[in-house]
Structure 1
Amino acid sequence: MGATGPLASQGARLGARLIDGVIVIAGAVVIALITAFLAAACGPGSTVGTVISVLGYTILAVALLGYEPYTMWRYGGTVGKLTCGLRVVRLEDGSPLSVGRAIGRAFAPVLIGLIPFAGILNICWCCWDERRQCLHDKVCNTLVVAKT
C-alpha cells in the first residue's frame, strides 16, 4: 500500500505513458499543421505569416511544457494516468501535488536524462524499488498510486 492506496503497477504506468505520448504527439502535430497552414496562406515573407508562426509555435511550446505539470497539479494525473486509474500524490501524506512539485516532477526526468544512461535507469528504477518509484519520484517525493 502506498500513501493513500495500492501502488501503481509498472504495466499501468507504462500504459499511461504511452497514452500521454500519443496525446502529446497528436496535439503537437495538429498545432504545427494549423500554424504552418495559416502562415503559408499569408504568403512567403509576410509579416502576418511570421507573427502567426511565432504565435503558433509559442502556443505549441506552452502546451508541450505545461501539459504534464498542469494536469498533475489540477487533476492528480495526466490523461494517461487518469485513464489507467492512477494518480500522483505526495509521498509524505498522500495529498495532491502543489504547482511547484508538479513542475519539478515533470521536468526532473529531463534533467536526469542529461546524464548518460540515467534516463533509462530513471524509467527502470520502479521495477525493483519497494515503493515502485522512478528516480524522478524519489527526487520530488511523489508516489504513483491506483485510484481507490
Structure 2
Amino acid sequence: MSFGDPNNPYNQQPNQPPQGGQPGYGYPQQPGIPPQQGQPGYGYPQQGIPQQPGQPGYGYPQQQPGTLQANNGYINVPGLGTVQVATMGRRLGARLIDGVIICVVYAILSGIGLAGALGLAETAEECGSTLDPGYNACIEDASAGFLVTMLGIFALFALITLLYEWLMISFLGATVGKMALGLRVVKENTGRNPGLGGGFIRYIIPIVGALLCYIGTILVYLSPFFDNSGKLQGWHDRAAGTLVVKK
C-alpha cells in the first residue's frame, strides 16, 4: 500500500494553464510563449493602433483656423471649412460692377440737381433788373436755394453709398458686384457675416483715404497686393478682421 503526498492527501491535480499558452485570470504567462499578436490579456496592455495619417486625434494637432494650406489659395475658416481666397481679379471686377451701379445712382441724382438748378435760374430771371429794389435779395435767395439743393444731393448720394456698401456687407456679406462674381466677405475668426461693426470699419477706411485726393482710397483697394501672408487681406480687411472668399 502506497501513500501519496502528505501535502496533497486527496491526490488533486494541480491547476493547468489554458491550452495554447494564452494567459488568463489566475494563470501566469508561460515563459517563452508570447501572447498572440494584437490579443490583449490580463496584465497585457492593449496594442496601440495609430490613426491614419492626416486624421486629427490624440497626438495629431488639428489645423488652426485661418491657416493657409500650402499657399495654394485655400484657407481653413471656422464654420465654413476649407474655402478659396478670392483672387484680386475677381475683387477688382466686383468693385468695377459696384462702381457702375454707384455711377448710375450719381447720374440720376445729378439730373435731379440739374433740373433744380434750372428752376432756380428761371427764378433768378424773374428777379427783374438790377435797378429793382428787391433784386439783390431775390438773387441771394436763388443762390442759397441752389446751394442747399446741391448740398442735399451730395448728402443723399453719400448716404446711399454708405447704406449700399455698409449694410449689404454687414448683413449679406456681399454687394451686388460681389454677388455677381461669387464672392463673400466673412469674419476670419467665425466665418460669419461681418455685422454692423465690421462692415462699418471696412467701409470707412477707404472713405478716410479719400481725404488725400483719393490716393489713400486707391492704396487701400490695392493693399491686398502688399499682403505677404497669402490671405490677400487689405488694410480695411485687417482692421475689420475680415476675409474675402469665394462662395
Same fold (TM over 0.5): yes
1:82 is matched with which residue?
A: 179
Higher relative contact order (CA 8 A, sep 6+): 1
| Superposition deviation, residue 124 in structure 1 | 4.0
Q: How many residues align?
A: 146
Looking at structure 2, the residues matched to 121 and 108 of structure 1 have their Cα atoms a distance apart, in angstroms, of 8
Q: Which residue of 1 aligns with 2:113?
A: 35
Report the Cα offset of residue 56 of structure 1.
3.0
The structure 2 residue matched to 1:130, chosen from 224, 230, 233, is: 230
The alpha carbon displacement at 1:132 in A equals 1.5
Distance between the aligned counterparts of 1:33 and 1:106, measured in 2?
27
Q: Which amino acid aligns with 1:135?
A: W
CA distance, structure 1, for counterparts of residue 144 and residue 208 of structure 2: 37
Q: Which amino acid aligns with 1:142?
A: T
**Pairing of 1:43-58 with structure 2 (within 5 A):** 43-44=123-124, 45=142, 52-58=149-155
Root-mean-square deviation (CA, aligned residues, Å) is 2.7
Larger Rg: 2
Q: Distance in 2 between matches of 1:22 and 1:132?
A: 24
2:208 to 111, 115, 124: 111
TM-score w.r.t. the length of structure 1 is 0.81
Unaligned runs of 5+ in 1: none
Structure-2 separation of matches of 1:134 and 1:51: 37
Matched, 1:99 2:177: no
| Counterpart Cα distance in 1 of 2:156 and 2:221 | 29
Tell me, yes or no, if the aligned pair for 2:206 and 2:216 is still in contact at 8 Å. Answer: no
Whole-angstrom CA distance in 2 between matches of 1:118 and 1:104: 14
Which amino acid in 2 is paired with 1:133?
Q
Matching residue of 2:167:
70
Partner secondary structure for residue 33 of structure 1: helix
Report the TM-score, using the length of structure 2 for normalisation: 0.51
Aligned to 1:20: 98
**Richer in helix (by share):** 1
Shift of the alpha carbon at 1:102?
0.5
Q: 2-side partners of 1:18 and 1:145: how far apart?
A: 17
Q: Which runs of 5+ in 2 are unaligned?
A: 1-73, 125-141
After superposition, the Cα gap between the structure-2 partners of 1:37 and 1:95, relative to the gap in structure 1 and judged at 3 Å, is: same
